[in-house]
């Protein structure tokens, strides 16, 4: 592994570790051992790869987005995770964790979800492996995302609305942890992102790193060289760490993460945890946290539910602090412009999460093109598809009338 990996106690430099109730420590230790043994077992790795290949549609393709690139100024390659089963990179993580759950002999899984994407992926994995599944979801989100609640129900999962705190993703995590404290002997917690206590940040990274491993090889095959930069959106950071890991030891490849800037970082309504947060402890790890002067968590804001989280995975905190990766905010408006542009130029409607990476890449392309010319290449993780975001798009662009979205090419006839 790389010099940017965690030590045996889950510390990525000053970040990570394990800040958890003693009641869960034995289970986390058990999980750590099971995960390490599984990753060292060729049979487990082969089964994981087979499930992703035969069921989830992985490896995803690397796509040369030439028409989109005309607006960028340099070459843009898209890693098409949006084409995976359930429509995002998240299937990699849940299939890995659910396979591990089977191996550990547990019969039930729990998960938290914000907009419902990780909940749907977890319910899917549970159906595939024949596991009981309970998903915790903030009650505000269950109302906003009724379609995803129905999808989870159809897949056989129980969805529990969470009313405590701000009734959003962070509170759903709290409630899932409360369930887990009481059910840990037969239940696995399928954590949805590369955050939380050790071993989750490293384990989720291991299950998602195929994104970057595949993309690196695909890029070499397609272009004969490595990209000049890789770009991904960062909420908790699972798709980003999945892409970045393969490139950490390629110093010639710049690494850029794009956080949700919401209405703008200076407005206070955002989810740009690394850019504007402070070091603290949230959900079991030391990382950057949006918090007030007393260490109370501040509610985050983003048009993208998948990025709307006041913490971030500790490996990203470490990559930021060490300077290996750079993190920037992208506002709601910039992301929605990029969403419209990709839709119009390539016929691909991206998830709003992924649109943050696209918007970041458009910005980065100007700098790279100026520095290295139009042959410069940015590899962007198109982490999910935008079907789930049509409600937001309708509202944002006013699509139900005659009005057309701006930011794309004018003539669509």
Partner 1 sequence: MSVAPAFARAREEGRAALVGYLPAGFPSVAGGIEALRVLVDAGCDVIEVGLPYSDPVMDGPTVQAAAQQALDGGVRTSDVLRTVEAVAATGTPTVVMTYWNPVERYGVERFAADLASAGGAGLITPDLTPDSGSGWVEAADRHDLDKIFLVAPSSTDERLAMTTSACRGFVYATAVMGVTGARATTSDLAPPLVARTREVTDLPIGVGLGVSTGAQAAEIAAYADGVIVGSALVRVLLDHPDDPPAGVRRLAQLTTELAEGVRRGGALRGDLARA
Catalytic residues: 90, 112, 383
Largest CA distance in the chain: 62
User: How many residues lie near partner 1 (CB under 8 A)?
Assistant: 38
Element containing residue 135 per DSSP (H, E)? strand 132-138
Binder among 1, 5, 9, 366 for partner 1 (CB under 8 A) = 9
Helix H or strand E encompassing 285: strand 285-289
Q: How far is the CB of 169 from partner 1 (least distance, A)?
A: 11
Site for partner 1 in 19-58 (CB under 8 A): 19-27
Instruction: Report the candidate in 63, 77, 59 with the shortest Cα–Cα distance to residue 226.
Output: 77
Which residue matches tokens 């690494």?
Answer: 255
Query: What b-and-e string marks burial along 93-125, b requiring 16 or more CB atoms within 10 Å of the CB?
Result: bbbbbbbbbebeebeebbbbbbbbbbbbbbbbb
Residues in region 267-326 near partner 1 by CB under 8 A:
278, 280-284, 286, 289, 291, 293-297
At its nearest, how many Å lie between partner 1 and the CB of residue 19?
5
Contacts (Cβ under 8 Å, ≥6 apart) of 398: none
Stretch of residues binding partner 1 (CB under 8 A), selected from 50-58, 162-170, 204-212, 356-364:
162-170
Q: Which is nearer to partner 1, 23 or 394 (CB)?
A: 23
Choose between 66 and 279: whose C-beta lies nearer to partner 1: 279
Is position 216 an interface residue for partner 1 (rule: CB under 8 A)? no
The answer to whether 181 contacts partner 1 (rule: CB under 8 A) is yes
Choice between 160 and 281, CB closer to partner 1: 281
What is the side-by-side strand order in the sheet with 187-189?
Answer: 158-162, 132-138, 108-113, 187-189
Smallest distance, partner 1 to C-beta of residue 111, A: 16
Question: Nearest approach, Cβ of 181 to partner 1 (angstroms)?
Answer: 6
Sign of CA dihedral 163, 168, 169, 170: negative
Residues that bind partner 1 (CB under 8 A): 9, 11, 17-27, 164-165, 170-171, 174, 177-178, 181-182, 184-185, 278, 280-284, 286, 289, 291, 293-297
């Amino acid at each position: 592994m790389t010099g940017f990996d965690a030590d045996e106690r889950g510390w990525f430099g000053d970040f990570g570790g394990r800040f958890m109730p003693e009641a869960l420590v034995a289970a986390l230790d058990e999980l750590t051992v099971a995960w390490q043994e599984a990753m060292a077992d060729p049979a487990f790795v082969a089964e994981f790869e087979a499930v992703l290949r035969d069921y989830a549609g992985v490896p995803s393709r690397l796509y040369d987005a030439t028409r989109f690139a005309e607006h960028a100024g340099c070459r843009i390659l898209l890693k098409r995770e949006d084409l995976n089963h359930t429509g995002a990179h998240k299937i990699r993580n849940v299939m890995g964790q659910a396979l591990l759950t089977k191996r550990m002999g547990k019969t039930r899984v729990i998960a938290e979800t914000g907009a419902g994407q990780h909940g749907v992926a977890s319910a899917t994995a549970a159906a595939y492996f024949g596991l009981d599944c309970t998903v915790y979801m903030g009650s505000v989100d269950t109302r906003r995302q009724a379609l995803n609640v129905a999808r989870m129900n159809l897949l056989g999962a129980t969805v529990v609305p969470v009313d405590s705190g701000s009734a959003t993703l962070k509170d759903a995590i709290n409630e899932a942890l409360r369930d887990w404290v009481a059910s840990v002997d037969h239940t696995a917690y399928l954590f949805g992102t590369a955050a939380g206590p050790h071993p989750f940040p490293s384990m989720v990274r291991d299950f998602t790193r195929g994104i970057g491993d595949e993309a690196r090889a695909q890029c070499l095959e397609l272009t004969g060289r490595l990209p000049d930069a890789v770009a991904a959106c960062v909420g908790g950071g699972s798709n980003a760490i999945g892409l970045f890991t393969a490139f950490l030891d390629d110093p010639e490849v710049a690494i850029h993460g794009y956080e949700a800037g919401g209405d703008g970082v200076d407005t206070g309504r955002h989810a740009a945890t690394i850019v504007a947060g402070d070091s603290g402890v949230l959900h079991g790890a030391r990382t950057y946290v949006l918090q007030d002067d007393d260490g109370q968590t501040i509610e985050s804001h983003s048009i993208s539910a998948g990025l709307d989280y006041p913490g971030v995975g500790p490996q990203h905190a470490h990559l930021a602090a060490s300077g290996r990766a750079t993190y920037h905010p992208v506002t709601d408006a910039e992301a929605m412009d990029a969403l419209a542009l990709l839709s119009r130029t390539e016929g691909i409607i991206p998830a709003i999460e992924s649109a943050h990476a696209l918007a970041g890449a458009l910005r980065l392309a100007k700098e790279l093109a100026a520095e290295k010319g139009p042959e410069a290449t940015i590899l962007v993780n198109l982490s999910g598809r935008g079907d789930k975001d049509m409600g937001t798009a309708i509202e944002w662009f006013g699509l139900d009338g005659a009005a057309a979205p701006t930011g794309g090419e004018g003539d669509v006839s």
